Structure formats: structure tokens, C-alpha cells
Structure 1
Amino acid sequence: MEFFQGNIASPLGFSADGLHAGFKKRKMDFGWVVSEVPASVAGVYTTNKVVAPPLIVTRSAIETHREMQAVVVNSGVANSCTGSQGMADAYRMQKQTAEKLKIAPHLVGIASTGVIGDLLPMDKLEKGLEKLVVNGNADDFAKAILTTDTVTKTVAVKDMFGSDEVTMAGVAKGSGMIHPNMATMLAFITCDANISSQTLQLALSQNVETTFNQITIDGDTSTNDMVLVLANGCSGSQEILPGTTAFDQFSDMLSAVMTDLAKKIAKDGEGATKLIEVQVRNAPDSQTARMLAKSVVGSSLVKTAVFGEDPNWGRILAAVGYAGADAAVDKVTISLGHIPVLVDSNPAAFDDEEMQDIMQEDELNITVDLHDGSSHGTAWGCDLSYDYVKINALYRT
């Protein structure tokens, strides 16, 4: 498997475009991804009980028809908590996109992200739709889906399946309200492999727990967000079937894309200055390992300590203790970077200057070894800074 500089339109048969339609004052805010042919599709969705109309419309289309040819996205206005008018606008967004592309409405997925409670300005949507083109600027799509993000988040990989080259690419947005299980972000993945929707869903569901569901920024869960994977078969490769070596290879490819996007989302948390990666080792089982890792990376006290460059391992151990997992805590070893600060649940001496160098880096690796099994888990997040409060205090104003 090879990573390369690409975009969401790198797989064969896909194109994308993005532009400024007026949902936001100046920045790009409207775009689409289009496949030459209907593609197999899989999705995972927010766990928030309040679900926005765009997600309802998209999820219904996928569950009923199991194929998709285009996804159209706006940012700036979430079309969430907007009642019957919001639902009507979501269906209208789907229908008008289908009419422009001359395809059936169920082949169009829609997504919106931004301020909750505002109706979509349909006049701006329609004017923006008139300007979108097939084979447009795919890099602009990555910009158009952003809200408070500071950077675009894209990844592209390719691998050989027998004599056929298969390409997969992903793009995501997410900066605040990131606390899955599957929520508070949008991610779109395209692939030119030949794989059924059912098999694609299996691969996505298997990998979401260890990737997107292991990131947390602030503990909030949004109403709109989802991951969609489209595979159009344009590579001409043989069909990938469950239980085969090819499926395992495809699953590894999907995991690599999802992990890369998850880490980029965590690193770009609102106001963040540091990416935090927590690895829990030698836990009784993988679920416990993931739970503990996420508890540590989600702790506000850990986050603020990292922002302050304070090696406060007591906060890390406390987060392990209150995670609700059935794991022994009497022989825990904690390391910040390569430096142990707690060994077998006893404080360890360390060099202050060497530790300060580690705490000043823009990525901090925290390792928690339970010595209580053989399973591992990883989670990603970011520090909690003054700017996080500023961004969210002034989000609408």
C-alpha cells in the first residue's frame, strides 16, 4: 500500500468540485462528489438522538437502494432542528441535484454542517448548484466542507489487487463537537474497487471502532454527521468478497485511510496546539483498551495539563481509574513520550529538562501499560486551550 498526494477524485471514475455559494460570508461552502456510474455505498452515522434532515434523507436512500452516484454538501448551515421545512428543503436539495446530473434522486446523498437551527437559504443553494460542474476542482471540495477547521484533511492510497491497481481517497471535516461513537464530523471516502454495498458496509463497520470512534475533542456529539464510502468498480478489479485475502487487504486499506483522517481531525481540534495520542497496552481485552485510551484523551484535566506542558501523570491515572473498565490498576506504567513517569503504579524520577522538551512538541504520545493482558487500544485527541473557549463562545456572532 502506497500513500500519495491525491484528492477525493483520485480513484478512477470520480470527480469533485467546490465553490462559494453564500452560506458563509466569504469562504467556500458548497460542493459535490460525483461518480461516472452508480457506486456501492456504505455509511455510519451520528448516535445523537436529534438527527438532522440531511442525514435522515441520505441514510434512507442508502438503506433502501444500496447505491449512490453523487454526494452534495454545504457548510455554514446545518439544516438541523428545522422541523418540517428543514425536511422539505433536504429532499429538495437531493431532487435538484439529481435533476442537474440527470440521475434518480435516490442516487444522491446530501450533507450539511454548520449552525444548528437555521433554515437552508434555498436561493443560494440553487444558484450554487447551477455553478457546480462535473470534473471541477476536487481540492476545492475539501475546502467547501469546512466549518471551524483550520486546514483541509485529505488522504489518498493505492495498492495492487492481483494485476489491478485500486485507489482509495478520503476527505473529512471536523474540528469541534467531536466525540463519537460516530458523530460530529463528515468524512467521504471514494474507491474504484469492485465490491458490493453489503461487503463494503462490513469493512466500514469493522474499522470504525478503531478509527473514527477513537477520537474526541470536547465530549459533544453533533446532529448531522456521518461517514460515507463509495466504491464504483471502475478499476476493473475482480470483486472483493468477504472472508478472502483480498477483503483483508481492502479492509487494511480502508483502515489506513480512516486512521489518517481521524488523526488529522484530532490534530485540528478547535483551538488545539497539540495532537495527543494515547496507547493502552496489555489490557484484558481490546474493548477495555480502547475505552481506557479514550477516557484519558477525553479528560479535560489531561487536556489542560498538556496545553500547559505540565507532565501531570496523576490526571492520566485518574482517567484510567474512572473509565468504568474492569482492569487492574495496581501495576500501571505510564510514559510521556519515551520517558516513564509511573512504573508499576509507583512514581518514577525523570529529568525535568528532557521532559520539558517532550511536552513542548506539537504531538504528545502517552502510553499506559496495564500489565493485565495482551490487548491494545489507541485514541486520539488534542489539548484544551484558551482559544477553544473563544471559538465556541463566539460561534454564531
Structure 2
Amino acid sequence: MLARTRFAFALWVVVALSASLGIPNQATAQYSEQQLAKWLKQFPAADVDRDGRLTAAEANAYRSKLMKQDRAGGKQSGAPREFSVDPRWKDERFPSDAMCYRSPQEIAKAYGTVTSRPKPDDGSLRIVGTGHSFMAPGYGCLPKIARAAGFNQQTLLTHTGGGITGSARYKWEQENGIFEFAGQPVPKLLASISNANWDVMMWGPYFNDQPEYYRCWIDFCLRYNPDIKFYLSDAWPQLYQLEKFPSSEAELTAATIARMGKERHTTYASLIEMFNQEYPGKVFVLPTSDAMVLAAERYHRGELPGVDGLHRSVGGKERSLWRDELGHLGPGFDRLEGYVFYATLYGRSPELIDGPIEFGDASDFPSVELDRVFRQIAWQAVVNNPLSGVTASDEVDVIKND
């Protein structure tokens, strides 16, 4: 069983990396000859035609077979939730050649490019961030929403990747050139953080996150940008939280999804509360989980016009809240995440935006009516979560000042 898990994990990492580079699915993922040869030695059963050579198609087929078998047994598949981490994360210091110990000039030279943004005079924010595919929808929508609200929102500077490769821990190792990236630093964010001014850093969460995975980023950012604030998304409920894969959407009741959302909140609330003891007034939550729980409640009440299902991987409906077993957002719900990001960072309700928002959608979905519901949900989620740093009175202040 462990060998099967390792095979699925190895393939998943390659697929995740491919997704981060814009490759649409595993059918088109490119595996190196070395990877295929290694997998053939470990998993000879994957070589279906017994010709002594494992093809990408055979590797994908074998992975799919294992995933189907796991699902038939009631097990969840997808992103790895158990994985090894370099034990040196527990050391007092990172390796001495880590980029974080270099001067700003040395870091900039190592990467070759420094991104900077002029100081805005309209209250717009200069934002850096890491993250994975759960953060991508919000990252894409946030600038469009902020611009429609009247802010000259500039493009976010992000260093992202698929799944585990977009986690705060992975990106810190990669940027610094430490542990598995020893001698190969890619300080895309470190170069700009240490040589320019920024207002916000954002992260996407990942399984088994530890305080040190974020503390390193916080300390580095504060060294060069003492006024910067930090925002961690708590994602949303995922099917792996259930004991077995649902046989139908009838099992995904509002109460069940609310319970799953509470579990997510508990996990990240303790982390953020701890950071706020260490860094008062600096670390906040992006309550995307609360927003999706509220959306599920609205769906059960028939208040999401045009949305046909909860989970496409369970109910098969295209217009669902979630589109696959991993838990990626369904069509149109990128706006909801973007509204949560906007409401949290700017302390304003997206309901106050009067002008049209150019999302660039080719279809008429989501409708104007559904978009209005998304804005309501986002603001409700943000002001009702004390860790967001935003209260309902902030909206009153905005109205008075406008």
C-alpha cells in the first residue's frame, strides 16, 4: 500500500507542477525518461504491454487504476496529506548559504530582477504572495475587483505552484536554495521584498502546516517592510475530511459542510491567534472557508440562481460549488474568492462597488443576480470572522467618507 501511495504521489507532483505551468491535465503532462524508467523498476505492473518500457500513457493509466481502487474502497485520493519534511526545519538557523542571510544587493543579483511598485496615493495595496491552485482564482479576480472599486490596483507579485509546490514551506526552500534546492535558489519574492516596498503578503494553506513555515516569511518581510501585513487563506471544506467518498450529494448536507468548515477554521485559527501573540496586529485570515460554507447553505435554500449542484465529482453537475475531488472551485466561484480577498484586504464590502467589473467571462454565467449574492456572502464571511481584522463598522466608515 505504501508503494502504491508513493507512486500516486510521485505522479501527482509531476501533474501539479505541470498545472502550475499551464498544462491543462495529466493526459498532456510530460514525464522525463529518467522518471519513467525509475517508476518501471518500482512498479513493473504498470508496463501493460510488457515491452520493458513505461510510457506516459501507461503511467497515467496505472495511477488512475490505483485511484479508482482506492475510491471503491471508500478512500480519498488527490493531494498528498502525509509527506516527509527536511528535519533541519527544526534547527535554530537555516543553512548559512540561504538567501535570507544575504544582503538585498546579493539577493537581487542572484535572481536578476527586482519588481517594485510606486507608492499609491489612492489607498491601493502593493501585494506579494505564494500559493497553489486554490489561491489562483482569487489572485486573478482581486485586481479586477479593486480596480472596479476605484483603486489603481497593480498586478500582484506572486510565486506559485501546483499543490505542495505552492506551499509556504516549499517556496521558502526554493527561494532560499536550501534542503532539496541546495545551491539552486530562485529568490523571486525575496529579491523584491528586500529591495522594494510592499503592503501585504498572502499565502495559501497546505496540509500539516507548521508555524515555522510562515514565521520565516514574516521575519524576513518585517526586516525590510515593517508596516507590512500578512493574510492566510483557510481554503474551504474538502471531501478528504469525510470518512468515505459520498455516494450522492444527499450526504453533503448543510450541517455536514458546516462541520467540515468548522474543522478548517479550528486548524488555522489556532495558528493565526498564536502569530498575533508574537506579531500583534499583523496576521489575519482570508475566510474563504466561511464563504464557501455560507454558499453551501444558500444552495440548500435554493438561493444560488443558476447553480445546479454542490460537488461535480459527486453529483456530476457542471455548475457546482466544487468541480473536482481535490476541491477546486466550480465555474463562477472564482469571483466569490476574489470578493473575500478584496473585502478582507481593503475592509470594504464588494456590495458598494457601483460600476461593472470586467472579469472577462465569455458566458453570461454567473448572472448579475448570482454575482450580487457572492458579494453579500463575501462580506458576511469577512465581518463575522474576528480573525479577518474587519468589522461591519468598517463599511459604515467607508460610506461616511465617500
Provide the TM-score with structure 2 as the length reference. 0.28
> Which structure's residues are more often strand, by fraction?
1
> Which structure's residues are more often helix, by fraction?
2
Looking at both structures, which has the greater relative contact order when contacts are Cα pairs under 8 Å and sequence separation is at least 6?
1
Provide the TM-score with structure 1 as the length reference. 0.28
